[in-house]
Chains A and B, each alone.
Chain A
Amino acid sequence: MEKNNPNAVIRIASILIFFSLWQISSLYVEVDLLPGPNEVFNKIILEAEGNEIFYHTAITLKRVFLSFIIAMFIGTFFGIYMGRNSSLNNFLDDWLIMGLNVPALVIIILCYVWFGLNEVAAIVAVSLNKIPMVAVIMREGARSIEKDYVDVAKFYKISGSKFFLKVILPQLYPYLLSSARSGLSLIWKIVLVVELLGRSNGVGFKLFGFFQFFDISGILAYTLVFVLLIIFVEFILVRPFEKKISIWR
């Protein structure tokens, strides 16, 4: 515990400096363009009173969660398969490059045109944007699997499920975590664009409204809440999981 104290102090100092810089900057910039932390917190309280912020944040979180699960599942499956099978890798490699380079906006517009302005189109658009990145990271993970350990499993003829869970998966954990982290940060950004373009609820929809009324404190209020939620997920779920799986290091 004592060992962690210096880190905690550094973190708290960093947060305090961030808010101080924000406050100081807001004093020198026109208040409508950059409201200070006080105004933003007041806006959060105002939005919370009518439960609006909870409703829209929950809707966006649901979309983020669903897209994340779909993208991670499909991306991991294809990534591992491509990393272990050169024929499939040759077949899908160009698709992957294409998927990585098609702008997110194009995929979103196409999904809305093809499937309509509905929930399915929104989720599919976000997932499609993320799948190639997960696949690329997991492909690298699958390629880096230690042959020596695979040989041990092969020699002792261990069962398929044991082989995957005890030999392969632990080697992929760093890659899974890396793609989960980058996935979460990318997905929630894309979800906002999807909501802004074609949904009638969610944080993206609200931001569009604030933009039209030039309400910067509203934009910052929703952004701040969502960023805090993602940080919460990182500290409550991702980091403890990371600590648990890397205890042997």
Chain B
Amino acid sequence: MDFHINIKKKSFVNPHDKTSIDVLKNINIKIKYKEFVCIVGPSGCGKTTLMNIIGGLIDAEDQKLNKEQNDLKTDGDFGYVFQTSRLLPWLTVKENIELVCEENEEYIERIEFLLSEFDLHEFKNYYPKSISGGMRRKVSLARALIKKPQILLMDEPFVSLDQPTAESLYSVLINYWKKNPITIILITHNLKEAILLGDRIIFFSKRPASVVYDHKIKSKTEGLSIDNIEIQKEYDQLRKKFPSLLKGLV
């Protein structure tokens, strides 16, 4: 089942001078079922706004988010790994995951499964403050996957993590995705990360953001390290092709 994002315009009104700022304009993206799509673009261009529109947290003018012919409104269709982990600090790891699902047999089993899958079992009764940043991201990912979403939204989930931690999270994500293929939309500032993980990279322009280039990733690597030579090659080609577009990206 393909996923079609069609947004005519999204503006925000500045509360100080009441001026309107266009953030997104004519966004038209078709994503194939089980495709891993990465979105890259300059800071503040509207990527998170797009995610929030897809996730139903904000509305845009004339927006259409269609999964074939059906509107995606059903509870559990989406999972969202926010830019910061957004774990509730007064709830334990397990309670944070439980928060978003019903308390029934199916979910109890699923929570146990995800805790084991993501190596979080021994930390399930820890509070977020007592675990590392990498683990908090894993919990956030587990929470996003608890309802078996068809589409997983990830807003810079690996930002500000050191490379080994980020790579261990890549492997958690990719291992899950290989076993349970779902559509993933990932926002990142790290082009190598996008090349490593994604099937496609969509490049956004400066604000108001629109799609300027849709790139199908060619590199297919065995491991999950961004220091791979194939990734470096594709990275260099893209940088050469779009020097101004990729200014400011890692």
**Which residues of A approach B to under 8 Å, CB–CB?**
148-149, 151-158, 162, 166-167, 170, 245, 247-249
Complex contact A149–B88 (CB within 8 A): yes
Q: What is the CB-to-nearest-CB distance from A157 to chain B, in angstroms, rounded to a whole number?
A: 5
Chain B 72-93 interface mask (CB, 8 Å, partner A; 1/0)? 0001001010101010111100
Complex contact A166–B99 (CB within 8 A): yes
Central interface residue in A155, A157, A167, A249, by most chain B CB within 10 Å? A155
25 pairs of residues in contact across A and B, judged by CB atoms under 8 Å: A148-B86, A149-B86, A151-B82, A152-B82, A152-B88, A152-B99, A153-B99, A154-B56, A155-B56, A155-B57, A155-B80, A156-B147, A157-B75, A158-B100, A166-B88, A167-B88, A167-B99, A170-B88, A170-B90, A245-B90, A247-B127, A248-B89, A248-B90, A248-B91, A248-B129
> B41: CB under 8 A from chain A?
no
Residues in B neighbouring A152, C-beta threshold 8 A: 82, 86, 88, 99-100
Question: Count of B residues near A, CB < 8 Å?
Answer: 19
Nearest neighbor of B55 in chain A, beta-carbon distance: A155
Q: Give the interface SS of chain A, mostly helix, strand, loop or mixed.
A: helix
Q: What is the CB-to-nearest-CB distance from B96 to chain A, in angstroms, rounded to a whole number?
A: 9
Q: What is the CB-to-nearest-CB distance from A150 to chain B, in angstroms, rounded to a whole number?
A: 10
**Which residues of B approach A to under 8 Å, CB–CB?**
55-57, 75, 78, 80, 82, 84, 86, 88-91, 95, 99-100, 127, 129, 147
Nearest neighbor of B56 in chain A, beta-carbon distance: A155
* Given A248-B89, A248-B129, A158-B99 contact (CB < 8 Å): yes
Complex contact B82–A166 (CB within 8 A): no
Once bound together, how far apart are the Cα atoms of A153 and B91, in whole Å? 14
Selected from B56, B90, B99, B129, the residue in CB contact (under 8 A) with A162 is B99
Q: What is the CB-to-nearest-CB distance from A213 to chain B, in angstroms, rounded to a whole number?
A: 54
Complex contact A156–B99 (CB within 8 A): yes
Residues in B neighbouring A148, C-beta threshold 8 A: 82, 84, 86
Residues in B neighbouring A247, C-beta threshold 8 A: 127
Residues in A neighbouring B82, C-beta threshold 8 A: 148, 151-152
Nearest neighbor of A166 in chain B, beta-carbon distance: B99
Selected from A156, A170, A245, A248, the residue in CB contact (under 8 A) with B100 is A156
Nearest neighbor of A159 in chain B, beta-carbon distance: B102
Residues in B neighbouring A245, C-beta threshold 8 A: 90
Residues in A neighbouring B90, C-beta threshold 8 A: 170, 245, 248
**17 more A-B contacts (CB under 8 A) besides A151-B86, A152-B88, A155-B80?**
A148-B82, A148-B84, A149-B86, A149-B88, A151-B57, A152-B100, A153-B99, A154-B56, A155-B56, A155-B78, A162-B99, A166-B88, A166-B99, A167-B88, A170-B90, A247-B127, A249-B129
6 A-B pairs with the lowest CB-CB distances in the bound complex, closest first: A156-B100, A248-B127, A170-B90, A248-B90, A157-B75, A148-B86
Once bound together, how far apart are the Cα atoms of A188 and B95, in whole Å? 39
Once bound together, how far apart are the Cα atoms of A27 and B180, in whole Å? 84
Once bound together, how far apart are the Cα atoms of A145 and B12, in whole Å? 22
Q: What is the CB-to-nearest-CB distance from A160 to chain B, in angstroms, rounded to a whole number?
A: 14
Q: What is the CB-to-nearest-CB distance from A79 to chain B, in angstroms, rounded to a whole number?
A: 20
Residues in A neighbouring B75, C-beta threshold 8 A: 157
Complex contact B100–A166 (CB within 8 A): no
Residues in B neighbouring A154, C-beta threshold 8 A: 56-57
Once bound together, how far apart are the Cα atoms of A197 and B100, in whole Å? 54
Nearest neighbor of B102 in chain A, beta-carbon distance: A159
Once bound together, how far apart are the Cα atoms of A152 and B143, in whole Å? 10
Residues in A neighbouring B147, C-beta threshold 8 A: 156
Residues in B neighbouring A248, C-beta threshold 8 A: 89-91, 127, 129
Q: What is the CB-to-nearest-CB distance from B240 to chain A, in angstroms, rounded to a whole number?
A: 39
Residues in B neighbouring A156, C-beta threshold 8 A: 99-100, 147
Once bound together, how far apart are the Cα atoms of A151 and B129, in whole Å? 20
Q: What is the CB-to-nearest-CB distance from A169 to chain B, in angstroms, rounded to a whole number?
A: 10
Central interface residue in B78, B95, B100, B129, by most chain A CB within 10 Å? B100
Residues in A neighbouring B55, C-beta threshold 8 A: 155
Q: What is the CB-to-nearest-CB distance from A207 to chain B, in angstroms, rounded to a whole number?
A: 43
Nearest neighbor of B146 in chain A, beta-carbon distance: A156
Once bound together, how far apart are the Cα atoms of A156 and B56, in whole Å? 10
Residues in B neighbouring A151, C-beta threshold 8 A: 57, 82, 86
Once bound together, how far apart are the Cα atoms of A148 and B99, in whole Å? 15
